[in-house]
């Protein structure tokens, strides 16, 4: 394999300028190509991201066919301007412009990596109406049951997330329980064998809802106008 | 690996076919094992990774071949890496633009094409010495061989581990998937089985060749 032999004459020394010229040229070319492909693909990537969120939104907010984006800045919620600086909220409306629910993004560490999901909150029943995983790397056949297991998905038909009468946090925290032990509307029936992934879902829904539900309920009139 | 080290290769059918069989990067040279094992849990992921790697291989090696007289030996590795990283970044953006779902499924392995030794190895051993035409044909052959190998693993793992092929359900609800096949150990099992098959085929062919040639030579 090694074909260099002792008979080869020694190479003349390479001038430093030649090395700099090659590296400089290649780096410039590289910069041009990378920036060009970034510029060309950026609108397509943005569109894909929007489509992914829209698709998930219509699944987690039953009955929604159109959307409006809001942003929560501290205790206020306002229509999304060009520069989002707070938590994003996607409000879903039916054809007549009636608010059907609000989708929120949440995330927590799962078994392999962070699980990111979008969930739909119905402010009229004060409950969670559905979850859609945006990104995860859970073990196929085990942790990914949080998407595929129909019984686990039933947890989110009307998972209670009621605001505490004091206006701070939830009346009842969302908690996971062992498979088959769900007795209350705020409990999540975990998947046996995928406890870490199920608990991660419960934890992120609880944490985000504890913080966001009071803000949503206080600012509901803003989001009700389409 | 005998790839005509210092003389210009004339383009023949063999320039392309070598990458598919005699110099198959996965089954013969065992290069680029990281994506081979990691992203072949489904046929579509395997195909996407194979095509992405082929594009990077052909594009970067073409540029290396074009610039071969201008790249001083001392800075060649740095130059190759910059060239390869450029095309990997372009592929990365392109896949995000085509499908976010695919991009998420392939995870960090798109970026890791930069350090795929199949590509750097080709640049060093072939493209830096050969003309553009031969480099493109050889790169396409090696890329096709890599994609073929990835598909061999991806198809078997998806059928056994998920009961489907390219996302289409094959066996219905009765099928109990063999989940270990889409987990990392399954990658090793299937790779081992394919290597066994390819080596057995090769040994058999060599034995037949010797038989037809007459008495075996020493060595």
- Between B132-162 and B13-20, two packed helices, what is the crossing angle to 10 degrees? 30
Query: How crowded is residue B24: how many other Cβ atoms within 10 Å of its Cβ?
Result: 21
Residues in chain B: 219
Query: Best of B7, B23, B72, B178 to disrupt the A interface by mutation (most A CBs within 10 Å)?
Result: B72
- Taking all residues of chain A, what is their mean pLDDT, rounded to a whole number? 88
pLDDT the model gives residue A8: 67
Query: How crowded is residue A4: how many other Cβ atoms within 10 Å of its Cβ?
Result: 8
- Cβ of A45 within 8 Å of Cβ of B1? The answer is no
| Backbone Cα Rg of chain B | 19
Instruction: Give the residue numbers in B contacting A (CB under 8 Å), as ranges.
Output: 1-2, 5-6, 41, 67, 70-75, 78-79, 82-83, 85-87, 89-90, 93-94, 96-97, 99-101, 104, 107, 161-162, 177, 179, 182-183
Burial status of residue A88 (CB atoms within 10 A of its CB: 0-12, 13-18, 19 or more): middle
- What is the per-residue pLDDT across A49-100, written as a single tens digit (0 to 9) for each? 888 888 899 999 998 998 888 988 888 888 887 766 788 899 999 999 899 9
Respond yes or no on whether ipTM tops 0.85. Answer: no
> How far apart are alpha carbons B76 and B182 in whole angstroms?
39
Q: Do strands A175-177 and A187-189 pair parallel, antiparallel, or not at all (unpaired)?
A: parallel
Provide the residue-wise pLDDT of chain B in tens; the chain has 219 residues.
444 456 788 888 888 988 888 888 998 889 888 889 988 988 998 999 999 999 999 999 999 999 999 999 999 999 999 999 999 999 999 999 999 888 888 877 888 899 889 999 999 999 999 999 999 999 999 999 999 999 999 999 999 998 889 988 888 888 888 888 988 899 999 999 999 999 999 899 899 999 887 655 544
Q: Give chain A's end-to-end CA distance (angstroms, integer).
A: 72
* Nearest CB partner across the interface for B107, out of A22, A38, A137: A137
Nearest residue of chain A to residue B100 (CA atoms) = A48
Nearest residue of chain A to residue B77 (CA atoms) = A23
Nearest residue of chain A to residue B161 (CA atoms) = A141
Check if A7 contacts B (Cβ < 8 Å).
no
> How far apart are alpha carbons A157 and A59 in whole angstroms?
12
> How far apart are alpha carbons B219 and B32 in whole angstroms?
30
> How far apart are alpha carbons A136 and B84 in whole angstroms?
28
Angle at A67 between CA A63 and CA A69, to 5 degrees: 140
> How far apart are alpha carbons A77 and A220 in whole angstroms?
9
Cβ neighbours of A21 in B, within 8 Å: 70
Domain boundaries, chain A: 47-224
């Amino acid at each position: 394999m090694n074909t260099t032999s002792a008979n080869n004459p020694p190479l003349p020394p390479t001038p430093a300028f030649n090395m700099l010229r090659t590296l400089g040229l290649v780096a410039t070319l590289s910069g041009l190509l990378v920036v060009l492909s970034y510029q060309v693909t950026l609108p397509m990537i943005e569109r894909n991201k929007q489509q992914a969120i829209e698709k998930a939104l219509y699944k987690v907010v039953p009955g929604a066919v159109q959307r409006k984006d809001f942003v929560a800045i501290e205790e206020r919620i306002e229509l999304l301007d060009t520069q989002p600086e707070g938590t994003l909220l996607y409000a879903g409306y039916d054809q007549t412009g009636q608010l059907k629910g609000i989708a929120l993004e949440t995330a927590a560490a799962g078994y392999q990596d962070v699980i990111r999901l979008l969930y739909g909150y119905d402010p009229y029943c004060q409950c969670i109406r559905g979850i859609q995983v945006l990104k995860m790397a859970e073990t196929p056949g085990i942790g990914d049951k949080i998407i595929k297991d129909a019984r686990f998905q039933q947890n989110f038909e009307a998972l209670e997330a009621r605001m505490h009468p004091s206006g701070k946090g939830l009346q009842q925290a969302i908690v996971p329980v062992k498979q088959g032990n769900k007795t209350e509307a705020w409990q999540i029936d975990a998947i046996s064998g995928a406890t870490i992934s199920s608990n991660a879902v419960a934890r992120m829904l609880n944490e985000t809802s504890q913080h966001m539900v009071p803000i949503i309920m206080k600012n509901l009139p803003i989001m009700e106008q389409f | 690996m005998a790839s005509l080290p210092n003389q210009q290769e004339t383009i023949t059918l063999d320039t392309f076919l070598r990458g598919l069989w005699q110099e198959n990067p996965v089954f013969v040279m065992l290069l680029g094992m990281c994506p081979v094992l990691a992203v072949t849990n489904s046929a579509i992921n395997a195909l996407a990774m194979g095509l992405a790697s082929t594009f990077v291989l052909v594009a970067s090696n073409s540029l290396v071949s074009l610039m071969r007289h201008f790249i001083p030996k001392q800075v060649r590795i740095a130059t190759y890496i910059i060239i390869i990283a450029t095309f990997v970044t372009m592929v990365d953006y392109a896949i995000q633009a085509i499908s976010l779902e695919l991009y998420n499924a392939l995870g960090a392995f798109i970026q890791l094409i930069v350090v795929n030794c199949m590509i750097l190895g080709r640049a060093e051993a072939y493209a830096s010495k050969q003309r553009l035409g031969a480099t493109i044909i050889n790169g396409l052959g090696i890329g096709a061989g890599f994609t073929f190998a990835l598909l061999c693993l991806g198809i078997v793992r998806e059928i056994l581990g998920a009961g489907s092929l390219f996302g289409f359900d094959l066996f219905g609800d009765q099928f109990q998937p063999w989940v270990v096949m889409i987990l990392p150990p399954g990658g090793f099992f299937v790779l081992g089985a394919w290597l066994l098959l390819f080596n057995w085929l090769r040994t058999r062919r060599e034995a037949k060749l010797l038989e037809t040639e007459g008495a075996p030579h020493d060595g």
